[in-house]
Amino acid sequence: MPKKKSPEKNRPDPSAVEGLEAVVREQPITETLETNYMPYAMSVIVSRAIPEIDGFKPSHRKLLYTMYKMGLLNGPRTKSANIVGQTMRLNPHGDSAIYDTLVRLSRGNGALLHPFIDSKGNFGKVYSRDMAYAASRYTEAKLDKICSEIFGDIDYDTVDFQDNYDNTMREPVLLPTAFPNILVSVNQGIAVGMACQICSFNLGEVCQTAIALIQNPEHDLFTTLTAPDFSTGGELVYNRSALEKIYNTGRGSFQLRARWRYVESLNLIEVFEIPYNTTIEAIMDETAKLIKAGKLKEISDMRDETDLNGLKLTIELKRGTNPDSLMQKLMKSTSLVKYYPCNFNLLISGIPRQMGVREILEEWTAWRTECVKRRIYHELTQKRSKLHLLKGLESILLDIDKAIRIIRNTERESEVIPNLMIGFGIDEAQAEYIAEIKLRNINREFILKRIEEIASLEKDIEDRERTLGSRRLLLGVIVSELREIAKKYALPRRTAIVYESDIAREPEEEIPDYPVHIFLSKEGYFKKITPLSLRMGGAQKYKPGDGPQWETEAFNSSEFLVFSDKGRSYPSRVSDFPDMKASVLGEYLPARLGMDEGENIVALCMCGDYTGNIVIAFENGKAVKVPLLSYMTKTNRRKLTGAYNTSSPVVGIIQLGADAPLAFFSTDGRALIVDSALIPLKTTRTSQGVAVMRLKPKHSLKSVMLLENSGITNKSRYTVKSVPAAGSLLKPEDLQEKQINIEGF
Output the CA torsion sign for 637, 643, 646, 647: positive
542 is catalytic: no
- What number of residues does the chain have? 745
Amino acid at 505: R
Q: CA 642, CA 569: separation in Å to the nearest integer?
A: 8
Measured CA to CA in angstroms, residue 169 lies from 56, 161, 165 at distances of 20, 10, 8
The answer to whether the beta carbons of residues 53 and 367 sit under 8 Å apart is yes
The answer to whether the beta carbons of residues 343 and 186 sit under 8 Å apart is no
Active-site pick, 37, 40, 138, 499: 138
Q: Which of 487, 485, 397 is nearest to 434 (CA)?
A: 397
H or E segment and range at residue 187:
strand 187-190
Q: CA 277, CA 287: separation in Å to the nearest integer?
A: 17
H or E segment and range at residue 366:
helix 357-395
What SS3 class is residue 258?
Answer: coil
What SS3 class is residue 476?
Answer: helix
The answer to whether the beta carbons of residues 447 and 396 sit under 8 Å apart is yes
Q: CA 306, CA 494: separation in Å to the nearest integer?
A: 18
The answer to whether the beta carbons of residues 666 and 727 sit under 8 Å apart is yes
Amino acid at 224: T
State CA 93 to chain mean position distance. 22
What SS3 class is residue 397?
Answer: helix
H or E segment and range at residue 573:
strand 569-573
The answer to whether the beta carbons of residues 257 and 337 sit under 8 Å apart is yes
State CA 153 to chain mean position distance. 32
Q: Which of 84, 50, 62, 43 is nearest to 175 (CA)?
A: 62
DSSP secondary structure letters along 259-291: EEEEETTTTEEEEEE--TT--HHHHHHHHHHHH
Q: Is 320 left (phi over 0), alpha (psi -120 to 50) or beta?
A: left
Q: Which of 49, 340, 354, 351 is nearest to 190 (CA)?
A: 49
The stretches of 138-272 forming alpha helices (DSSP H) are 148-151, 181-184, 203-215, 240-249
Residues annotated as catalytic are 138
